[in-house]
Every structure is written in C-alpha cells, then in structure tokens.
Structure 1
C-alpha cells in the first residue's frame, strides 16, 4: 500500500456547496460564498475583516504593500521558513533581517529579535512553524516597545491558539493559506485578516487590480494584482471551516499516536515535535522528525520512499537560498539551529485523510529500518 505524505479530508459539505456554485453559475469571485467565507473565518479568528485571496503567498504580497513596507525598510523574520515571506519583502524592495530558530519549538528565536532592531526596522514578520506557534505575547510587547508593525503568518495554524487566543488574531495584519495540505483547504487559496477598516479596504483594492470605485472602470492610478478567490474555492473553505474542531481533534490524535510509537527515536538522537509549551498545545499540522545527522535522514527517507511511504523535507533556510545569492543576508552566520532543522528534518504522512492503518505502516517501516 502506498502512503502519500498528505491526503485531504473532504467528508463534509464540500461537494454540496461546490455543486451549488455550478448549478447557479456563480463560479467566479463574484459569488456569495466568498463573502460568507470571509465573514465566518474572520469571526472564527476574532478579527473584524477577512479578505479572501488566491493563495497564502498572495496574501503576503498584499499585506506587505498594504502596510506601506517599501524600499530600505527592514523586516525581522525567521531564516527557517517557506520562501514566500522573503519573496514578498524583496519584491517590495524591503530588507529581510533574519533570526535563528529554537530547536524546541522549531520557530524563530524571539530572544534574538531585540538585538536586531535598528532605526530602519519597520516590522516583525512572524511565521508559525509546523504545529506550535511563536509566543505572540512577547512579539506584541516588542512591537509596542519599538513602535513596529506585526505581520503574522499563520498559514499553517488553522484552529491553533496562543495564550488562549486564535492564531491570526495578533498581527496588525495576519495571513492564512488554504493549500491542499492545510487543516482547512480550498485547493489553493488564502486569507488576510485585520481589524482596521481602512487597512481592510486597502487590501480588497490591491487584490482586485486596484480598481477604484471613485474612478471610471478600467482607469487605474496604482498597480495591484488579480489575487481573487473564486466562489467554488470559498464554498469548499466554508464546508471545511464547519469541521475545524473535528479536524484539530483528529490532528492531535495523530500526533499522540506517532509520539507513542516513535518515542524510541529520541534515544538515537532524534528530535520529535514538542508536545506543548506554556502557551499552546501542538496541533501537529505535520509530524516532523529531525534526525541526528543529514546522512541518517537521507538513509531513512530513502528506505521509506522505497516502501512507498511519502516524506517531505523541511524548509531550507533563507540565508542559504541560491536565489538570494546577491543579497546581503546570504550566507551569514549564526543560524546553526535553523541549519540543523533544514538539513536533518523531514515529515512523515500526517494529512487529515491519513488513516490509522496507513500510520501503522509508517511506524512499522521506521521500526523496521532500525531493527
């Protein structure tokens, strides 16, 4: 049996709502599910406004521009993350300022941030990684102390909380992704959340080619994007949101099962996901493993792939991305924990649709490798 690294879980009203789009002809971004999904998701995250877009990366592009981050502005962010946040900053001619990771939570090391704040620092871009959030109380304290903006990338955190508040409720602007492997999926898609009325209206304008209702149609004074979400995507997202509590329960059950069965790996020097912090319990968006060496990771991954068990490597660090070779932050030092995560980390099948039988096959294969 093949065990894919991710299997989506589409057992609710997804088909019913998408069929409604087809039957009514409302398949574009003008359909009613878009507004309903925006309203319900923003309420779920305790925000005033939701702006649905075509992807999490699109949400970051819009967020950065809407906040006025521009040429020469410094934005502090983790080096260990997906590349999208760095792309959005660099497209705006801003300067990413990188911090190392914590080996315990795999998130950015908040203790490093204050030393990297300068007169040019405009924002902190937080990325919650893999299942545990960054301690947002500390981030908000720093932002207030130095009058900085906070962009909260909660792309992987649907249903997660921090200090009892929903992830996505802390930033001046926050974003989510609804890619197929997320806890809520629309296939592709994303959401921008904020509380400020003017900022929300700015985001809506930028996602829609900067159409201005005060101008004749097709007359533009500013560049924007076509980053709209379709009615069919929003219909699927709404059906998924209806099941979010069950999804998080399932994810945590999967995490407990893997922890129980794979804890023996810690004796060989592996790092398993931290189960909880003082401010959050892990939701195990993915179940990652950090091997004691790059060679051991590669050997185990090859063994699993030969057994038709899917894996994915961890993110690669921003300071080692070839595309950034001409940038000032390329190949800087002081990121040893992030580099270990990137080199030695990978995750095993843990999508919402992954069955207990499939997880058992994963565990059996890993135990067989070490037998």
Structure 2
C-alpha cells in the first residue's frame, strides 16, 4: 500500500512536467554498449562505498581511446577489468538477494527496494552522464540498512559485536577525515579544476573550464593547451570549439577562428553563440556590423540575453534606436523580470527624447533591482 502511494505521487508529479527537448553534447551510447556501462558503473559505486580513496567530479566509465600509446591502452585495459568487477558485484548481490529471499524476508525487501530505486540510474538508460554519486543516495540507504540487519543477524557474541562496532566507527571516522581533506578543493575555481583533473577527472568539461579560466586571465597558450586536450577527448565538443575560436580572435587569427566557429555551428547547442562570434569576426575583417547574422543568432534556441544585448547595441550604434526600443518592448512582454532590460529601455527612450516613458522604465528597473536606487 505504501509503495503504491509513493508510486502514485511520483507519477502524478512526473506527468506535470512539460516535455523539453534537451540538446546533447554527444550522441548516447549504443544499446549494446549500455550493459557494459552499467557493469562499470556498479563497480565504480561499489569502490566508492568500500574505499572512497579517489574522489572527483565528472566520472566517466566509457572508453575514450586516443591512439595506440601505452597510456591509452592501459586505460582501456583497466576499463575491461572494471567491467569484470561490476559483473562480480552484480553476482554477489544476486546471491545475497536469493539467500535472503529464503531466510530473511526483511533483508530481501530492502534489497528489492534498492534494486528498484537503482534501476533508472544504473546505466542502462541514456542520461546526460553515465555515473553520478548523488544518483545512488536512495539505493545506498536501502543497501546500508540491509547490511546493518545482516550484521545484526550474524553477530552473536559480545566480542563480535564490539569488533563490528569498532570497524564501523573506524570507517565513519575515515569518511569524516576524507571529507575534511577534500573540502579544500572548493576554495576557488582554479583549485577545484586542477585537483579534479589531477585526481583523474580530466573530462572534456573540466579541461574546458580550466581553459576558460586561463582565457579570462589572458594566458592564451595555457588556455589553448587545455582546450586542445578537451578536443582530443571529444573532437566536436562545441564549447571547446567556441573557446578555441575566442583564443584565435584574441590573437587576431581570424581565419582560424572562423574555422572553429563553422565547426561549432553544427551543434544546435552552440549555434547561436557561433553565429554571434562569426558576426564579430566579420566586423573585425570588414569594419562593419553584420546585423542580419546577429539577428539570426538571436532567433536560435536557447534564447540568449547576451546576444540580444549585443544586437540592441549594434542597432543603437547604427542609428536604429527606434528599432532597438521596439525589440526591447517585444522582449519585455515575455521576459519582464530582468532589471537590466528595463534600464536599457530607459536609456534608449532618453536618447529618443521620450523622458516620461524613460522615467517609467527606470522605475520598473529599480523595482526589480534595489541596487539601482543607489545610482
């Protein structure tokens, strides 16, 4: 009855969510590969539970070979061993569940609940990642309860009980010390990215983040190195391509920037930003603002305020302030909550000599952002 109630609540809430077409950075793994991913994910979770010695973000259990070199071949071999380890863990869990089904129905019920809650995130189904620690919080709670019940049934003497409690206390203390040590990783973005990469989380996303950090600091050579490493892992990663284009533009290497941006145009997720940056490349080459390309970038999904802001500034610079006001007023009908939009509308209306409307727009901006009252 309780399970039916929980399922009813879940299905009710789930059906209220509108379907959204989420863009993907890379295609999902083929169906024949997903059982292998599921086995590796199970081994990875078991390793984290038993001995969390290697903690980092952005885990990935898929193979990403990058040539016939010792490092690539060794990494692939370890992945195959991880597949074998996952199958062993799965076999142990099946044996435990079968044994509990006959002798300890309470433990079997907990293991069954763990299996049901783990099934959606086990790796057999395609998500934005194939493993994430927070996905197993609920299954892990059932597993730990089952382990506690099993230990309570096994422990008979006082000596065994104290031994079990001592081991549990040492394990919990180890987890606390490990957490205290690794919390230092979050002191600033650079520390987080570098320690994550050093611990084995050198995914394309982490390398792109570190490359973007170097780019913002003006360290173009380091930024290019990290971004090229990300591109080696995922040759068509759109954000790596966009950042490499930004590096080339800072070096005034416009042909290289255009080449990267044309590749970034192939991914719907980066199409709008690629169009915007191509407009900047054309502006540098010809000294003219390509309003049509900016307008095209503006109409791509997902909508971007930064692109809209650049388009409005281009309209204002080219003497089309009235059109900029019309675009802003259309935008504010649906995105009325942004103080910066109202403030910008006030500036454009002031330039057009419409003081009363400008004052109303500025008042609306201050209503959404109290910090503007100090200016």
TM score, norm. by length of structure 1: 0.20
Structure number with greater Rg is: 2
Which has a greater percent of strand?
1
Which has a greater percent of helix?
2
Instruction: Identify the structure with bigger relative contact order (alpha carbons < 8 Å, sequence gap 6+).
Output: 1
